[in-house]
Amino acid sequence: MHHAVLALLATILAAAAHPASAALQTPLASGAKLQLDYDPGDVLGAIPQATLANLVYPPAKGPVADGYPVEPLPVFLTVRGGNTNLLQVGVVSVGAIEAQMTGLGLVAIQIDHPVIEPGDDYRVSLDGVRRAVQYLRANAPTLNLDPERIVMHTRSMGTYLGYGVSFKEDVADPLATDPVARESSRPDYLAARIGVSSLMCFDLAPGPWTSSLSQIVFPGLAFGDSTAEQRLEESPTWWLLNPGLFGRERTPPMLIVINSQHGDACGAMTNIHSGLLGEEMLRALDDWVAQSGDEDLRLRSTSVDKLVWPAVEEPIADWTLERMAEDFGGLYVAPPAGDLTAAGGVLNLRAFGAELGSLVEFRGGSGWSAAPPVGCPGAVGSFAAPVLLGSAVAGADGMAQVGVTIATHQMGGVLEFRALAPSSCEWSARGLHLLIAGAQQ
């Protein structure tokens, strides 16, 4: 059976050996890439460069206005670190983030926001991030975005802002004449990396850390001169634990990045990127669940004991997929995992969202047809030249996985595949194009 699968796979992948497979000679259809101003009406009063957003779509996807079919896509919105309005500054491996998330079928978006000028504090930037979320929701139909599946990914100062957007007031005004202002400013999910979660653990002695915190939180006041009450009230852990202060009725599920090797002690911390900050937020989450009884939030949240990209890449991607699958139903295909060289290798094909013990088939082909797949007359569409790449039974986590060996002569081919649940005749929510070109797949 294994050899039969490989033989079938070869009919799709081996472009050089099988010139008749025209699809293999065709480059991947490019997804749309655009830059827009999310505050064109200048509501924030910021310079235009401070309210830019870069949108990168998955292959063959894009805005309806550009001729792409209507297919609302989930969003992976990155809020970078640093007090600057230059796109990509403070975000590690921008290209890797975009490639990973567009490969998952999400629209990768990175935004600028107004910088904190002397005399201002973080609220200036926070209002920008809120406005960006509202703009994306208000324009979701034309941008082909799913307004209920916005994952906010943050780092450093972006994490402090992400906590503010997630825990503090939702600035939606249902009666506003501005359609953007009517939308919720709260993301649906938050993946928070190395950022300030509490001001209570920092050493109060003067230092680079206190200068940064003073600029962001207490303009005109030395951090060491702030009161314990002031520091507590500006701590995201406090915001999380006191939803009544902000009218918060919904708390986004979170992935919290920690680093258990930090070696810091609360009260003597001098590193604004300490792994202790992740632990503090995780403890606050547990306290909130105990206080509120919201066990569902805890089950839908998680933590990762790693610090930097790309170490956190796969855990964030897997958590995002799990949330999409479990919260919205249906199968989702993950990017294949495996190390390929010029000599080939093994690719692991993965799908999430299947029922425990159910069979999942991975089917490939060279084009999409309106005809239903064999054995599933109720399913919508199928591959024009279907090939069964493998099948597996889903585990308790809803994931099914098969390994496919790629031979040397198959390198460089293009494969499109989707997952199918034969018991329900349900296709995965989207297909995944894969360019087999080298080790970075």
Residue 285 lies in a domain: yes
Give the C-alpha distances (Å, rounded to integers) separating 142 from 73, 98, 147, 424: 11, 21, 12, 32
pLDDT-based confidence at residue 1 (cuts at 50, 70, 90): very low
pLDDT-based confidence at residue 295 (cuts at 50, 70, 90): confident
pTM for this structure? 0.73
Residues 340 and 307 in one domain: no
In the chain, how many domains are there?
A: 2
Residues 83 and 42 in one domain: yes
Residue 241 lies in a domain: yes
Residues 185 and 315 in one domain: yes
pLDDT-based confidence at residue 24 (cuts at 50, 70, 90): very low
pLDDT for the residue numbered 406: 82
pLDDT at 21 over 50: no
Q: Give the N- to C-terminal CA distance of the chain in Å, as an integer.
A: 25
> pLDDT tens digits for 88-122?
444 445 667 777 788 888 999 999 888 888 888 88
Residues 111 and 11 in one domain: no
* Higher pLDDT pick, 193 / 1: 193
Residue 441 lies in a domain: no
Residues 374 and 312 in one domain: no
* Higher pLDDT pick, 311 / 201: 201
Domain stop point among 307, 328, 349: 328
Note if the bond before 310 is cis, omega within 30 degrees.
yes
Residue 440 lies in a domain: no
> What is the CATH classification number for the domain harbouring 173?
3.40.50.1820
> pLDDT tens digits for 54-63?
999 988 889 9
Residue 147 lies in a domain: yes
> What is the CATH classification number for the domain harbouring 388?
2.60.40
Residues 335 and 245 in one domain: no
Residue 336 lies in a domain: yes
Residues 151 and 299 in one domain: yes
Residues 99 and 117 in one domain: yes
Domain stop point among 275, 302, 328: 328
Domain stop point among 328, 345, 364: 328
Residue 186 lies in a domain: yes
Residues 11 and 105 in one domain: no
pLDDT-based confidence at residue 313 (cuts at 50, 70, 90): confident
pLDDT at 439 over 60: no
Residues 339 and 206 in one domain: no
Residues 108 and 79 in one domain: yes
Residue 348 lies in a domain: yes
pLDDT-based confidence at residue 31 (cuts at 50, 70, 90): confident
pLDDT at 135 over 60: yes
Structural domain that includes position 277: 33-328
pLDDT-based confidence at residue 413 (cuts at 50, 70, 90): low
Quote the CA–CA distance of 209 and 236 in Å, as a whole number: 17
> pLDDT tens digits for 318-329?
888 888 777 766
> pLDDT tens digits for 370-390?
778 888 887 777 877 788 889
Residues 19 and 63 in one domain: no
